[in-house]
Structures are given as C-alpha cells and as structure tokens.
Amino acid sequence: MHIPNRLLMGPGPSNVSHSVLDALSQPTIGHLDPAFQTLMEEVKDLMRAAFQTRNEMTFPISAPASLAMEAALVNLLEPGDKAIIAQNGVFGGRMAEIARRAGANVVLLSFDWGKPVCPDTVAETVEMHPDAKLLAFVHAETSTGVRSDAARLCRIAHKAGILSVVDTVTGLGGIPVAVDEWQADVVYSGTQKCLSVPPGLAPITFSARAIATIKARSTPVQSWFCDLNLVLGYWSGTGGRSYHHTAPVNAIYGLHKGLSELADEGLEASWTRHQAMHDRLAAGLADLGLEFLVDEPHRLPQLNTVVVPQGFDEAYVRQQLLQKHDIEIGAGLGDLAGKVWRIGLMGHTARPENVERLLTMLGHVLAEARQQAVA
Amino acid sequence: MHIPNRLLMGPGPSNVSHSVLDALSQPTIGHLDPAFQTLMEEVKDLMRAAFQTRNEMTFPISAPASLAMEAALVNLLEPGDKAIIAQNGVFGGRMAEIARRAGANVVLLSFDWGKPVCPDTVAETVEMHPDAKLLAFVHAETSTGVRSDAARLCRIAHKAGILSVVDTVTGLGGIPVAVDEWQADVVYSGTQKCLSVPPGLAPITFSARAIATIKARSTPVQSWFCDLNLVLGYWSGTGGRSYHHTAPVNAIYGLHKGLSELADEGLEASWTRHQAMHDRLAAGLADLGLEFLVDEPHRLPQLNTVVVPQGFDEAYVRQQLLQKHDIEIGAGLGDLAGKVWRIGLMGHTARPENVERLLTMLGHVLAEARQQAVA
C-alpha cells in the first residue's frame, strides 16, 4: 500500500494534521466501554461548540455527510408532506431527490449555479405554501463555492412556523455557523472539509422542535439505520446507552481530536484564517489572470470556483498539478463540469505556505499549457 | 483523550493489530485520486477472495454493517414484495423490521434463540409462498452464537427461484463463507469481527441475479445513499468513477491492511485457528463449570454464548473483568439480556494467550463473586 503525500486543495477531503492521524491509530475499544462513552460525551460537547448550539441532540452520524442529509430529511418528512427545497448547485438537487424518495411533495426553487439562494423568492414561496413542513437549503454549496444567507433563510422558515434544514457540510469551521441564533432545526456537516478530519462521519444537530416533530410522526421513519428514535438510544446520555449499531470507534477518536484542535484555535480565529487565505489566493489568481465564478460578496473563502480560461484543457491542468506537483484541486460538478476548477482552502490546508505553493505551481502548469496550445 | 488497552472478547469490535492501526494513520488523500482508485480495486479483489466469490459487485459500504443490511433489503425489495425472513436472534428481527419499513410483506419465521434456522421449515414456507421475492437469514447470529446452514438455506432459495440475502457479519473470516458455491445473492459482513478492522465499514457482494433485479425495479430505491445504481458509479471500475459520496479514505486503508493480513494467513488457516481457540475456551469453561447456550454442532467458534450460572450478577462479573483486568466480554442482547455472556474470539483476538488470560481472570472473578454471594 503506497499512499502519496498530497496537498489537498480540492473540495474535500482536506489535509489532516499528524495529531488527528495519530488519534485514529489509538487502540480500538468497545463502543459500549465506559471510556468510549466519556469520549462520546466530549465529542457531543465539542460539536455543540462548533455548531454554536445548546441542542441536546448533537452527535456524529456514523457515515458520510450524504447520509446525514438523508437522515435529516427522512426523519422529518412523512409521505405526502410538502417540502420547499432551494437548489443552487448539486447538493440542493440531491436534497430534492432524497425528499422525493421519502414520498414528499417537493416544491423546488431553482437558482442559477454560482448565485446564492434568493431570500425574497424563498419568502414568497413559503407564503404561497402555508402547508409546507420544511424549508431546506445549502448554506455553503460545495459544487459552486457560494454562500447563502442562512440566518435570513432560517428566519423566514421560523416566522412561517415551518422547519429549516441546513446543509453546511463545507461551512462548519470555515465560516460562522450559528445554529441557535439562526433558530435552525436540523443542521449537518461533514468531517473532511473545514474540520480536517478524514471523511466518514457527519456532525448533525436537531432542535427541540425537530425532535418533537419526529416523535409525533404517524409513520415509521423509512430508514431503520437513520431513525433518530433508535439512534438516540445509543447517543443520548440519559438512562444508559442501548446498542443500535457499532459506532466507528477509531474514526470518532479522530473527530474528537479534530474538534479539540478547532476549539483550541477558536472559532473566530479559524474563520479569520480561512478568510485571510482566501484573500491571498484571490490576489494570486488575479495576478495569473484567472476569474472567479462567484461574485465577491457570495464567495465561500474555503471553496473557490475558478473559471477555466478559454482554450485550456481543464483536466490536463488538474492532472499535471497532481502528478507532477502532488497538489489536488477539484473539477467542476454537474452543470459546471469542464467549466471550473474548485480550489479548497479548508481546515489544516488553509495555510500561507500551501496557498503560495499552489499559486506557484498553477502558474507553471498554466504557462506550460499555454505554450502547448500555441505550439 | 485517554484510551485504555483492552482485550476485546465481546461480540465486536475485536482487537486490531498494530499494522492495521498504522494503516489508518497514513496521510489522507482524495477519494478520486488515482492512487486511491488503485487501492479500491485491491480492496475489491481482497474482498472477493474473503467472500469466495467472483461477483464484480463486491465492495465496502461506507457505514457500519447495519446499513449494509438495510442496503441489501431496500435495493431488492419494492413496496408490496413478499420477503421470507428467518429469525433466530436479534438480527433476523432487525431484517424483518427493515423489510417492513421498505413496504415489503414479511413472512416471519421464528425459531428459538440459541437454535439454528431450520431448513425444513424454511423449505416448506418457501413452497407455500411461490410469489416470494427473497429469503433472508443470518448465517452467524451475533446475539446467540448460532451458526445456521447457509449452504442449504441458499440452495432452497435458489431451487425455488427466489433471491437469498445472507447476514454473515460475524462469520466472514472466522468460518467458511462461500458465496459462489452457495449461489447466494446478497451477502454482507462487518469489519470489526473476524476481520479485526475497526468498525465503520461493511463488505458486501451482489450476484448478477441481484443486480438484474435491482436494475429491473419499477420504483426508485427508497434510500438515495444506499441505491446501488448510484453507489456503483463510484465503486465500479468500468468507464471512470463518478462522485457519489466521499468514501471514508483512512478507514479503507485499514480494511485493505486487514484483508491483506487475512489473505496472508489464508482463509483455511484462519478458520482452523478460530476453531482451535474455541476448543481451548470450551475446555476451560467446562473446567469452570460453565455451560454453553448452544448445542455443540451449531456453535460459532468465534462467538460463545455462556449461560450465567444461577445466583450470579452477570453485570458485576463483566464490570470486574473490564475494570480490574481490562477484558471486555459481552452482555446478552434482547431476550437473552441478563441470561448469558457473549465471549468473542474473533480475528486478532483469537490467540492462545488471550484465551488463557480470559479463563484465568474469569475464574478469579467468579470465585470472588461466589464468596460474596455466600457471605
């Protein structure tokens, strides 16, 4: 098994610190061991701090973030329920697909890829559908690098008395996520973005309103694995833990360490660092004559979508960076395939030396590619 | 973070070798990196060897084995389909629950806990329900320590022209699993039992018949995350990989190493070792005056259910073993709670020195507990 040392500047995973990698390789213990239960409680506390919430039901789903998306929707939705879903990239579309498979009646609001979700349009739609059960949207669209106004969107939902589901897979740790202040109902993230923990777990938090809605269901949750009523028998601290599934013990060691490092740095310091690295990258990209897909006010600092200049083979540039320079950047996804590169500055990756290295090497590769195009 | 060094002799996780733990802490790389794709192909090959199958569709689900159970059933079953499910412990019951949530019409065959699934009863039932779509059963019941005759049960299903779903979470690597010889259709396992890899992934394999059934569905699979049609876009080697979800990269390093170690030892050698350790344990338990729940021909060597002798506090014994001697053994589950201990001899744990250590310490703890009871 030969694992190369890559600089991970794609849309995730991001680079993982040595201390998190070391944590992963601590000896495995039982998922019901008192020592592991202590660790679970610490992880829940650390996660609450990262999400800025006091929600009791805050824990990691034992699977990648896509399953957290599914868990959020299939727990809240029953067949025939109406769900308003905003789409401005791949992941909003995935939400709609999952909601439909749960038997929901989906009202899909589509926005241009590269633009944020428009709060006015959402407000109008919410008003037109007083029978809707929830509003779901993506706070930080990994496919486009756009930030939507989660505070305002949640406020619209809350005022209308419907639940809000917020995907902040790429947001958490990189930009402010304020679950309680937003009065958001279900918010989930991933480990492999700004938390810089290997992929495989998904932090999620449920408000008391969300829990009450799930408890009041008239049909069982279609997924046994995702059924919050069952999962909480294991993750809830009250009254002893009951076995549901075997938690991914070593992965949780890594998450504990990653969240501890975020707490040590401080949320604000982490946000500031991500923004500073973005500014540095943006200046360097401008020097190279490259343009962003997204207008400045809506850019995610941690996920930069750069328009592939005319005449360049986008895949060739990525391959050269990876094969010659051990730097991974991401391709466009869905409608943006072939049109953009996605440059991640997430978590541990978001450091000056990494930004400089990318800019230098990208400059070399583009110059080479340009010469070839001319020749 | 303080992680104690435990001897893991419960129903899983089992102890993980240093080399597998080291593999986990290799640097994270991208899930679409060519180096990772090579590793994925190797993992698929190693998994085929362990399952004794040539099934192309053999890969690890990015979640614990409970989700593999759900994936097997929700991919094969459509609403209104009839599923014959044999239950002789907790996990057969879970299969039935999942199938019902998928809208299936479940014919549940219940057998005594501690007894194997009776092939004659299954054959009669299959005959009575020619419209059934599948037969599902547990090969190695983790809750009772019983082995059922998977070869014969799969033959019954195959002869009747219905699909077979086999749960061998605790079986794979510890006792023979012969997917192709059995003509089994969907077989899944876990990593944290006889493969001695940390929990969090679930090896699964699908026959060509199973794939054809899934492709011929008239309704979408209710779970987006588990939908094999989508998952295979990532795990299938043909025609380039497409993004589905972010694979748990580091966990897969560990699985690769664990499966490599199994291949190095050889399947037969591993089965022989598990049986030899069971024989040694059984002799020692007899010396201590303890009895098995399961009749000898149906015992799983790797999962030993021992009847708690009258007058003993079963939880006290487990706690003493854990707190004083760093040995974890398992409690009874479901109907067997309070009535049995479950002693695992799985994977890396199944070594003579571990069996001796458990027998010695269990002897001490029982003697102490007996004195207290007398006093």
* DSSP designation for B219: S
* Tokens encoding B110: 């219940």
Of A27, A246, A257, the CB nearest to B64: A246
Most B CBs within 10 Å: which of A9, A29, A66, as the mutation test of the B interface? Answer: A29
Instruction: Return the H-helix or E-strand segment holding A285.
Output: helix A267-287
In this prediction, residues B129-158 reach a mean pLDDT of 98
Residue type at position A307: V
Tokens 């070594």 sit at which residue?
B351
Question: What number of other Cβ atoms are within 10 A of residue A323's Cβ?
Answer: 11
Residue B21 and residue B342 in contact, taking contact as beta carbons nearer than 8 Å: no
Check whether A237 has a pLDDT greater than 70. Answer: no
- Per DSSP (E only), the strands in chain A are 7-9, 57-61, 82-87, 105-110, 134-138, 140-141, 146-147, 163-167, 186-188, 202-206, 303-307, 327-331, 340-344
Candidate from A41-55, A312-326, B237-251 with smallest mean pLDDT:
B237-251
d(CA A303, CA A300): 5
Residue contact A28–B13, C-beta within 8 A: yes
Instruction: State how far residue B160 is from chain A, nearest Cα, in angstroms.
Output: 29
Cβ-defined contact of B322 to A33 (cutoff 8 Å): yes
Closest CA to A299 of A258, A340, A360: A340
Query: What residues in B contact A67, CB-CB < 8 Å?
Result: 63, 67, 225, 245
CA A122, chain centre distance (Å): 22
Residues of chain A with Cβ-Cβ distance to B24 below 8 Å are 21, 24-25, 250
Minimum distance, in Å, between the CA of residue B158 and any CA atom of chain A = 28
So what's the pLDDT on residue B181? 98
Residue A199 to residue B1, Cβ atoms within 8 A: no
At A296-346, the pLDDT tens digits run 999 999 999 999 999 899 999 999 999 999 999 999 998 899 999 999 999
Q: Is residue A238 predicted with pLDDT exceeding 60?
A: no
Residue ranges of alpha helices (H) inside chain B are 18-24, 34-51, 65-76, 90-101, 119-128, 150-160, 179-182, 208-215, 228-235, 249-265, 267-287, 314-325, 352-374
Closest in B12, B225, B256 to A67, CB measured: B225
Q: Which residues of A touch B8 (CB under 8 A)?
A: 28-30
Give the residues across from A18 on adjacent strands. Answer: none
- Mean pLDDT throughout B271-279? 98
Nearest to B198 among A67, A192, A248 (CB): A248
Per-residue confidence at B237, pLDDT binned at 50, 70, 90?
low
CB contact under 8 A, A6 and B29: yes
Written as one letter, the residue type at B10 is G
Instruction: Report the pLDDT averaged over residues B371-375.
Output: 71
pLDDT of B375 reads 66
A331: which residues sit within 8 A by CB, 6+ positions away?
A314, A315, A318, A337, A338, A341, A342
Residue A130 buriedness (CB in 10 A; 0-12 / 13-18 / 19+): exposed
Radius of gyration of chain A (CA): 21
Pairwise CA distance, residues B162 & B144, whole Å: 27
Query: Hey, is A349 helix, strand or coil?
Result: helix
Q: Which residue of A has its CA nearest to B192?
A: A246
Cβ–Cβ below 8 Å for B66 and A220: no
Which residue from A72, A31, A66, A348 is spatially nearest to A205, judged by alpha carbons?
A72
For residue A62, the chain B residues in CB contact (below 8 A) are 63-64, 200
Q: Residue B176 and residue B47: Cα distance in Å, rounded?
A: 14
Q: What are the backbone angles phi and psi of residue B329, rounded to the nearest 5°?
A: -120, 165
- Rounded to whole angstroms, how far apart are CA atoms B163 and B149? 16
DSSP β-ladder status, A82-87 and A105-110: parallel
Given a contact cutoff of 8 angstroms between Cβ atoms, the answer to whether B190 and B169 are in contact is yes
**Helix A249-265, helix B249-265: angle, nearest 10:** 150
Mean pLDDT of A261-286: 98
Residue with tokens 């059933």: B73
φ/ψ bin of B173: left (φ > 0), alpha (ψ from -120 to 50), beta (otherwise): left
pLDDT, mean over chain A: 96
Interface TM-score (ipTM) > 0.85 = yes
Can you give the pLDDT at residue A375?
65
B103 Cβ neighbours under 8 A, 6+ residues apart: B77, B78, B79, B80, B81, B222
Contacts of A245 in chain B (CB under 8 A): 64-67
Size of interface A-B (CB pairs under 8 A): 223
* Contact in structure between A85 and A96 (CB atoms under 8 Å): yes
Q: Which residues partner with B206 through β-bridges?
A: B57, B186
Strand partners, B147: B140
Q: Phi and psi of A326, rounded to 5°?
A: 55, 35
How confident is the model at residue B104, as a pLDDT?
A: 98
Give mean pLDDT, residues B204-211.
98
A250 contacts on B by Cβ (under 8 Å):
16, 21, 24, 198, 200, 251, 254
Q: CA-CA distances (angstroms) from residue A87 to A12, A140, A184, B317, B344?
A: 21, 12, 18, 56, 49
* A298 close to A115: Cβ distance less than 8 angstroms: yes
pLDDT of residue B269: 98
Identify the bridge partners of residue A85 per DSSP, sorted by sequence position: A108, A136
pLDDT at A370 over 90: no
* Token pair of B372 as six digits: 């207290």
User: Tens of pLDDT along A104-120?
Assistant: 999 999 999 999 999 99
Number of alpha carbons in the 13 Å side-chain half-sphere of residue B347: 31
Q: CA nearest A64: which of A228, A201, A169?
A: A201
What one-character-per-residue DSSP string does B89-114 give? SHHHHHHHHHHHHTT-EEEEEE--TT
Q: Give how far A288 is from chain B: nearest CA, Å.
A: 26
Cα–Cα distance measured from residue B190 to residue A108, given in angstroms and rounded to the nearest whole number? 38
* Cβ within 8 Å, pair A243-B62: no
Specify the DSSP class assigned to residue A172: B
Q: Residue B313 pLDDT > 60, yes or no?
A: yes
Name residue B9's beta-bridge partners. B329
Residue type, A235: W
The C-alpha of B246 sits at a distance from chain A's nearest C-alpha, in angstroms, of 6
- What are the structural domains of chain A? 7-12+266-374 (3.90.1150.10), 18-263 (3.40.640.10)
- Span B200-205, average pLDDT: 98
Cα separation of A7 and A155, whole Å? 39
Closest B-chain CA to A33: B328
Q: Which of B26, B63, B101 sits opposite A63 (nearest CB)?
A: B63
Task: Find the residue in B nearest to A323 (Cα).
Answer: B34
Classify B347 as helix, strand or coil. helix
Candidates A224, A234, A259, A328, partner chain B, best to mutate (most B CBs within 10 A): A224
pLDDT at residue B242, as a whole number: 76
Smallest CA–CA distance from B13 into chain A, residue: A30
DSSP per residue, A183-222: T-SEEE--SSSTT---SS-EEEEE-HHHHHHHHT-SS--S
Q: Is the pLDDT score of A374 beyond 80?
A: no
Nearest to A24 among B13, B25, B63 (CB): B25
Q: State what percent of residues in chain B have pLDDT above 90.
A: 92
For A70-134, the DSSP string reads: HHHHHHH--TT-EEEEEESSHHHHHHHHHHHHTT-EEEEEE--TTS---HHHHHHHHHH-TT--E
Q: Which residues of B fall within a CB distance of 8 Å from A102?
A: 222
Interface test with A, best of B78, B246, B255, B261 (most A CBs within 10 A): B246
Helix and strand counts by DSSP (H, E) for chain A: 13, 13
Residue A224 to residue B64, Cβ atoms within 8 A: no
| Nearest residue in B to A250, CA atom | B198
Q: pLDDT of B41-97, one tens digit each?
A: 999 999 999 999 999 999 999 999 999 999 999 999 999 999 999 999 999 999 999
pTM over 0.95: yes
pLDDT at A2: 84
Instruction: Measure CA A310 to chain center.
Output: 30
Q: How many CB atoms lie within 10 A of CB A338?
A: 11
Could you tell me which chain A residue has the CA closest to the CA of B11?
A30
Per the listing, tokens 């507990």 go with B369
